[in-house]
Chain A
Amino acid sequence: MLTKPALLTALFPAVGLGVLVGIFARGPGGVGWIFALLLCSAVVTAIVQQTLP
């Protein structure tokens, strides 16, 4: 079970950043933003998988 600080340090910033980027990315350049977010997710996935035994 994650603690309240973990929630505060991860959930709220994630939602806040998501809303900010989402609002900013609305419009014709939206696909480019989604592509950039997917690239970022690919990098994060590869990094977190290094912690797998």
Chain B
Amino acid sequence: MLRNQGGRSWVSKAVIYALAATVAGLLAGAALGTLGSLLPLHVSLAVGSILAIAAIAVGGLELFGRRTQPWQFDCETPQRWVDRGAWTWATRNGLTLGFGATSRIGFWLWYVIPLGAFLIGEPGAGAAIYGTYGLVRALGAPAILLGMMRLKTDVSDRLIQGYASARVLAAGQLVFLGVATAIVVGL
């Protein structure tokens, strides 16, 4: 088994990292869903309709080449966390990336997660939305590691090269969600 950084196996770090990211997502989503449940239904529907139109506009502009940077802190997790031990590093990184807001967001589509968890107006549903994000985002790291071990190549470099395609996919998803939501709640 591969070992590094304090003798901890990468599998144990990956599990802790994924758990921490999922917990961060679940907690953030549940909190937002609870807050959203305080909103009257007609307000949620009105805000949802406006956001659906905004999603179509932002996604459409992106696909027409008018790219705007999403509001974000645009920072990576601090390197000094490595010095605190392997499991602490995995936990902190997982919590930060599972929450997402304080790290590099990169795509307007990210805002769908907290806003969706809030407007859905149920703690369980909010937790499911945000928790799914945290889990899938965390699974990326072990998937990249496994890919590197199997393919003997730097998978992360290949992923970064796919950024342009990812932009198209994210913008398309934003338009898709916006159109469907606008028809369901607004039109």
Contacts and interface: CB of A to CB of B under 8 A. Distances in A.
Contacts of B170: 44-45, 48
Interface string B120-164: 100001001110111111001000100000000000000110110
Contact of B172 (A13, A35, A50): A13
B93 to A, nearest CB: 14
A9 B167 CA distance: 13
B183 interface: yes
A43 B168 CA distance: 15
Interface residues of B, number: 54
Interface string B27-43: 00000000000000000
Contacts of A22: 179-184, 187
A12 to B, nearest CB: 10
Given A11-B63, A45-B107, A52-B104, A18 B175 contact: yes
B171 A10 contact: yes
Interface residues of A, number: 40
A51 B162 contact: yes
Contacts of B140: 46-47, 49-50
Contacts of B176: 14-15, 17-18, 21, 37
Contacts of B167: 48
- The 4 closest A-B CB pairs, nearest first, are A18-B179, A22-B183, A46-B136, A1-B65
